[in-house]
Structure 1
Amino acid sequence: MTSTPPKRAIDYSLYLVTGRDLLPSGKVYSQAILGGVTVVQVREKDADTGEFLTIARATKTICDKHNIPVIINDRVDIAIAIRADGVHLGQTDMSVEVAKKLLPPTTVIGVSVNNVNQAKKAVEDGVDYVGIGAVWDTKTKKLVQPVVGVRNVGELLDVFAVGECGIKTTNLLRTLHGSVSISGYGLDGVAVVSEIVASREPREVAKELKGIVMEFKSGLSMSNGLLFSTSYLGGPVTKENIVEGVVELMKRVRELNPLVHQITNNVVATQSANVTLAIGGSPIMATAPQEMEDLAKICNSFLVNIGTLTTTTQEAMMMIGQYANLQRKPVVLDPVGIGATQYRKNTVNELLDTWQATVIKGNAGEIAAIAGSSEVASKGVDSVGVGFKDPASAVQRLARREKSIVVMTGPVDYISDGITTISLHNGNELLGKITGSGCITGSCITTYCGVAASVPSSTGGDVPGRMVKGDMLLGAVAGILVLTIAAELAVERGNVRGPGTFLPSLIDELWTLDTEEVRKRAKVVLHST
């Protein structure tokens, strides 16, 4: 009695889907395979049977030469004819049940899914993998179902999965990172069409894509796939080590003088720049979209503050986040007044769907708006009401969902990376009485994250798969602690009579703040959530 041979093990890391209308030459498959493509799907929606068969055979000949699996889109008969390794079925194609009856038992079967119900059905049908998509909008095929979006992929990752459609070098890292589920599952690979087949250098493009995928996958098991470390500069998670980490970052900021690019509220751009200078950074307040690519190469960190949103700044914000991701540099999002208008809500969602925020910073009303919670209301840029019943859990949940550090400011500040949650209890009420106090908080966080990104983590340097090295949670904590402790000292000077005299005193205290004062005054609480 003979047993059924096993199905071929397939590496889905870089899954090339063919598109002949985009091909620059017949050598593209060989070049793409040499660049790192791990599996090829032949998709010919407009070809008749004879033409499809000819194309499939030619593709298999090339792939066999390089020991690369071939999967046929839709056509079970073509897959049988060329002895393909697998078949990929859409929701309107032949059912999995019928395909299994017709195909050899060694054939891999994949299915496209667009929602949770389709994914659950694929699991019940016993498919070998699912293709989730479209993740991004695409021009390579007419979409019959809505775009899933990066931030909605995670809930579908209950089976082996490949992200499909619209994936390019510019959004690949965002796709991989944003698609990690709450439980830590990530994509097994990405399906790419035009980025490779329409390129004049398919080998180099494939090599770049494969490198990003492998870099990410090698670090996925660390911190539930988060692209930053929580090393506290080499120590365990204790109040003492957090404070010492902040002190170390304060010293390094003054030594390194990081270049901090800020697209921010023009009402308070001057004081944001002055605060950045006072703590040891060097601000660049540029908003022209044409400058974003060059600035991403030279700056250490980036602040995107939607306080005075315009169509021009919106375009610049879209660009700088993508370029910052490509450069593996931290980008801080401050969704000022997101609850005030639908335009602001739509803009923030578009930004978060396009690039990966390292830190999301807002007041309780702004955090509630991003989280989709009605627990806290807002009026303009301010929160109203009593706030979250359990703020520590609220920021932790949002951090896990967005794969970002989340900072919620208020009388008590809460910070979480989805694993560790910290509250900070320093500050003075006058800090909330000056225009743009939240904006300057974002400037401080961005400055310290820029230096934290250049500090090796406890693993000894860049950690594969993480967007930056060093400790972004610590950078966010440093930005809050330095500002709030300086606010306490400013009021204690004796010459502050109200908001008008408070701001210049605050800037002076930021300039002269001593590390011993931080050690002495820091009120840090670790939360078990």
Structure 2
Amino acid sequence: MDFDYSLYLVTNRDCLPDGITYEESLEQALKGGVTIVQVREKSADTGEFLEIARATKRICDKYNVPLIIDDRIDIALAVGADGVHLGQTDMPLEVARKLLPANVIIGISCRTSEEVKRAVAGGADYIGIGTIYATSTKVVKTPLVGPRNIGEILAALDDTSVKSVAIGGIKSTNAVRTLFGSITASGKSLDGLAVISDIVASREPLIAAKRLKDSVSHFKASRTRFSLGDYTTESLKGSVGKALKYVRQLSPLVHQITNTVVTTQSANATIALGASPIMATSPEEMEDLAKIPGGLLINFGTLTSLEGMIAAGQYANQNKKPIIFDPVGVGATSFRKLKAAELLNAWQATVIKGNPAEIGALSNSSEVQSKGVDSAGSGFADPASVVRALALRERCVVGMTGEVDWVSDGKHVARLANGHSLLGHITGSGCMVGTSVATFCGALSVAEKKVSLNPLADGDMFVATIAGISAVAVASEIAALRPDVQGPGTFLPALIDELSKLTPEVLSEKVNVEIVS
């Protein structure tokens, strides 16, 4: 049956806050956008379970929302439920199918590709993938699936009509990460999210449900919009100039959690480009800052305030704010690799920007080695394939900087050939590029909300990344030619000067960009 799995509520009366009844919470959740309800009663006896199921059915029928019963086929038959959900150790799917009417759907919990394949072969209508994150509502005896592994499991549903939801610790702050982590190489993705405590434990279940439903709806509408179609060299040249025009017109707030070595020059670069920087690291500030339109840069060159980085990214996801992740020196230590994985599991990056060693570390490649925060070696033999593969895996835009810069959205790859050797002789030039990318992404995300007639108003993060890298590179070429520049010490202030004087026309004229795939 063609049910809407977008927001799949699993009930748990133990989570209810004081003063709110089960029926009140459920009705508010349905008003907030819940599209399907599963009644789960692991400790109730048959009589109590039946009473709860009947009450749930009355409320669900009022809102024309399907009802699923967990495990108990007898209860499902007694109340005329629309479906049954089974675990791996519950009644075999084939037996359940024989007992249930043909119009009753069956869902199966799965945590591996093999379990998904068996569910498909057995005739399951949908699968529940989990447990994704640690949760207080269930004791998990097996390893967590994690958001970055959903796509691999979901790939077993390619070329099938079986639906899917993810479950386990899902809430509004990780919903976007969960959804983007689900996209398979063929483009298939989750049909929805199964949620328990984020709605049931809320004192405002209507608002909690609306927030989650909005994340799912936004994902379904925009998951392919990191880039906006096909590009040519000429179209990109024009687009980067228009992007700079948006930066100057809209002056987005760029929230930066960055390393202590470059804080001042990053702020100065942001101002020079025409945006407004704020350097804030306290977790307590992140919810409020994420509500202000603009971009978020997370640079862990000096790895401090991990809690703040996690909170900032999760609230940014919740508010549809672009996140630029600059994993400075990620390949230098195992600790940095571990923390980068933790961050990428906590929120969905919009852009990952790094040098070849950093991109190689995230790609699990040994082709380019890390030398502290720098790269060692001659580079990748096929850089276009490296950035494309990482962009596909992480479902974001990837920008790899070096003597030649490479940007990919997982489909297109752009080669950029601007810049000057003096950039390699000042501290934090790569961090400044990350700042610039965050500035351009922030501007285009604001433009998406304010401008309706220009193609760039759709928030093209592929263009924004190219523009952010190119702005610093082109400004460096102009600065290096100034007669007052005698070396690295005079180059840095000249670079800031030229960023402030850079015009859309000059950027479009001088950018050296080529679409290679």
**Which residue identity does 1:148 align to in structure 2?**
V
**1:207 equivalent in structure 2:** 210
In 1, the alpha carbon distance for the partners of 2:297 and 2:483 equals 33
1:272 CA displacement: 1.4
1:71 CA displacement: 1.4
Match of 1:11 among 1, 4, 10: 4
Matched, 1:486 2:486: no
Structural mapping, 1:205-354, within 5 Å: 205-217=208-220, 219=221, 225-230=223-228, 237-298=231-292, 300-310=294-304, 313-354=305-346
Structural mapping, 1:184-199, within 5 Å: 184-199=187-202
**Which residue identity does 2:285 align to in structure 1?**
E
Question: In 2 relative to 1, CA 203–255 (structure 1 residues): closer, same or farther, beyond 3 Å?
Answer: closer
1:264 CA displacement: 0.8
**1:411 equivalent in structure 2:** 403
In 1, the alpha carbon distance for the partners of 2:39 and 2:492 equals 64
Question: Is 1:253–1:451's contact at 8 Å kept on the other side of the alignment?
Answer: yes
Structural mapping, 1:126-145, within 5 Å: 126-145=123-142
**2:85 equivalent in structure 1:** 88
**2:501 equivalent in structure 1:** 512
**Which residue identity does 1:17 align to in structure 2?**
V
1:501 CA displacement: 2.4
Question: Is 1:358–1:404's contact at 8 Å kept on the other side of the alignment?
Answer: yes
> SS of the residue aligned with 2:485?
coil
Question: Could you give the per-residue CA deviations for residues 204-235 of structure 1, whole angstroms, max 9, x where no partner exists?
Answer: 32233223323332x15xxxx3353436xxxx
Question: In 2 relative to 1, CA 252–406 (structure 1 residues): closer, same or farther, beyond 3 Å?
Answer: same
**Which residue identity does 1:191 align to in structure 2?**
A
In 1, the alpha carbon distance for the partners of 2:166 and 2:464 equals 32
Question: Is 1:426–1:523's contact at 8 Å kept on the other side of the alignment?
Answer: yes
In 2, the alpha carbon distance for the partners of 1:510 and 1:211 equals 38
Question: In 2 relative to 1, CA 513–58 (structure 1 residues): closer, same or farther, beyond 3 Å?
Answer: closer
My pick for the range that moved more, 181-190 or 199-208, is 199-208
In 2, the alpha carbon distance for the partners of 1:161 and 1:435 equals 48
1:129 CA displacement: 0.4
Matched, 1:150 2:147: yes
Match of 1:372 among 344, 364, 371: 364
Question: In 2 relative to 1, CA 268–171 (structure 1 residues): closer, same or farther, beyond 3 Å?
Answer: same
My pick for the range that moved more, 107-116 or 199-208, is 199-208
In 2, the alpha carbon distance for the partners of 1:179 and 1:213 equals 12
**2:164 equivalent in structure 1:** 161
1:165 CA displacement: 1.8
**1:498 equivalent in structure 2:** 487
My pick for the range that moved more, 496-505 or 299-308, is 496-505
Question: Could you give the per-residue CA deviations for residues 356-382 of structure 1, whole angstroms, max 9, x where no partner exists?
Answer: 111100011111111222222212111
Question: In 2 relative to 1, CA 429–40 (structure 1 residues): closer, same or farther, beyond 3 Å?
Answer: same
Aligned length: 507
1:426 CA displacement: 0.9
1:458 CA displacement: 13
My pick for the range that moved more, 199-208 or 350-359, is 199-208
1:430 CA displacement: 1.6
Question: Is 1:226–1:403's contact at 8 Å kept on the other side of the alignment?
Answer: no
TM-score normalised to structure 2 length: 0.92
Question: Is 1:263–1:287's contact at 8 Å kept on the other side of the alignment?
Answer: yes
1:515 CA displacement: 4.1
1:33 CA displacement: 2.2
Match of 1:26 among 12, 16, 22: 22
Question: Is 1:57–1:82's contact at 8 Å kept on the other side of the alignment?
Answer: yes
Question: Could you give the per-residue CA deviations for residues 228-274 of structure 1, whole angstroms, max 9, x where no partner exists?
Answer: 3436xxxx611112111112222332333332221111112111122
Question: Could you give the per-residue CA deviations for residues 430-459 of structure 1, whole angstroms, max 9, x where no partner exists?
Answer: 211211111111111111111122224999
Question: Is 2:165–2:192's contact at 8 Å kept on the other side of the alignment?
Answer: yes
**Which residue identity does 1:109 align to in structure 2?**
I
TM-score normalised to structure 1 length: 0.90
My pick for the range that moved more, 495-504 or 238-247, is 495-504
**1:76 equivalent in structure 2:** 73
1:151 CA displacement: 1.6
> SS of the residue aligned with 1:453?
helix
Question: In 2 relative to 1, CA 401–87 (structure 1 residues): closer, same or farther, beyond 3 Å?
Answer: same
Question: In 2 relative to 1, CA 436–195 (structure 1 residues): closer, same or farther, beyond 3 Å?
Answer: same
Q: Which runs of 5+ in 1 are unaligned?
A: 1-7
**Which residue identity does 2:489 align to in structure 1?**
G
In 1, the alpha carbon distance for the partners of 2:135 and 2:401 equals 38
Q: Which runs of 5+ in 2 are unaligned?
A: none
Question: Could you give the per-residue CA deviations for residues 167-189 of structure 1, whole angstroms, max 9, x where no partner exists?
Answer: 22222223223322221112111
Question: Is 2:215–2:318's contact at 8 Å kept on the other side of the alignment?
Answer: no
In 2, the alpha carbon distance for the partners of 1:40 and 1:459 equals 38
